[in-house]
Amino acid sequence: MQDPHRRVVVAADMESYSKRNNLLQHQAQTAFRRIMDGAAADAGLDRIDWLIQQAGDGELAILPTGTSERTVAAKLAPAADRRLREHNQGLRKEAKVRLRLAVHQGLVHLDGANGFPSDAVIHVCRLVDSPELKRALRRFSGADVALIVSDSMYHEVIEHYRDLRPEQFKAVRAEIPDKRFSAAAWIYVPGENAAGDATDEAAYGMPATSPAEATAAPRPTDPIGQVFSGITTHGPAQFGNQNTMRNSNE
């Protein structure tokens, strides 16, 4: 087993993918790849060296050593939102592509037999699948992207460099009870104020969460499971078809 490497990890997932028929799923996958490639380029990121696990309705990406956490946290979601607004213009609701993005960082083993053994990978996949992020994307029906960043990413990057306005991030506790996952995190919606207020939340049937509640110490997580788009495995895992793990230059 090789030593782990500290990497930025990104998870992306399409909203309402499973509700589409086969043709719309095919079209959504094609659009997703084009949008992610273009958004990364717009943000000054090169996807050629990203290690990517595809999952049909999204992907898990392990970014190269030396990738700027500041760039990923601040530029990827707004770039994806801009491209999706152009793509979705004039499309029927069921054909539109809307994305949830999650960003975290941590130690990752790159030599797993069937994926990337890593608590950081588990964490980012559960963040992107959290009900809190799904509700945020539903709440802002005019937006095409909702971003969630880990608590450490928010405090170490967003607060310090302010490329995005920290006060527009909503403090949440991302909860997936059946996975024993609970973690403080922060949600941002490009072009919107995700922090909002209690009256905005009540209009969508969502309880308000105070920063103190959201940043309380998280409950223990499952140390050995991996989850992506609602699929949990134990031990190293390759999500999606075994032949879909790729370097995006292929």
Provide the pLDDT confidence category of residue 213 given band limits of 50, 70 and 90: very low
Residue 146 has pLDDT above 80, yes or no: yes
Matching residue, tokens 């607060």: 159
User: How far is Cα of residue 86 from the mean position of the Cα atoms in its chain?
Assistant: 21
pTM: 0.81
What does DSSP say about strands 231-234 and 246-247: parallel, antiparallel, or unpaired?
unpaired
Provide the pLDDT confidence category of residue 216 given band limits of 50, 70 and 90: very low
In this structure, how many other beta carbons lie within 10 angstroms of the beta carbon of residue 212? 8
Span between the terminal Cα atoms of the chain, in Å? 26
Give the Cα separation of 81 and 217 in Å (integer). 32
Q: Which residue has the higher pLDDT, 100 or 222?
A: 100
With contact defined as beta carbons under 8 Å apart, do 236 and 114 qualify? yes
List, in sequence order, every beta strand (DSSP E) within 109-230.
Answer: 145-150, 170-176, 181-188, 225-228
The DSSP letter of residue 114 is: S
The DSSP letter of residue 216 is: S
Both tokens of 216, joined, read: 């309380």
With contact defined as beta carbons under 8 Å apart, do 104 and 150 qualify? yes
For 175-201, what is each residue's pLDDT tens digit? 999 999 999 999 999 999 999 854 444
With contact defined as beta carbons under 8 Å apart, do 186 and 169 qualify? yes
Give the Cα separation of 51 and 65 in Å (integer). 11
For 128-141, what is each residue's pLDDT tens digit? 999 999 999 999 99
Provide the pLDDT confidence category of residue 56 given band limits of 50, 70 and 90: confident
Query: What was the pLDDT predicted at 192?
Result: 97
Provide the pLDDT confidence category of residue 42 given band limits of 50, 70 and 90: very high
Give the Cα separation of 113 and 20 in Å (integer). 33
**What is the rounded (10 degree) CA torsion for 88, 91, 96, 97?**
-30
Query: What was the pLDDT predicted at 102?
Result: 98
Query: What was the pLDDT predicted at 196?
Result: 85
Query: What was the pLDDT predicted at 177?
Result: 96
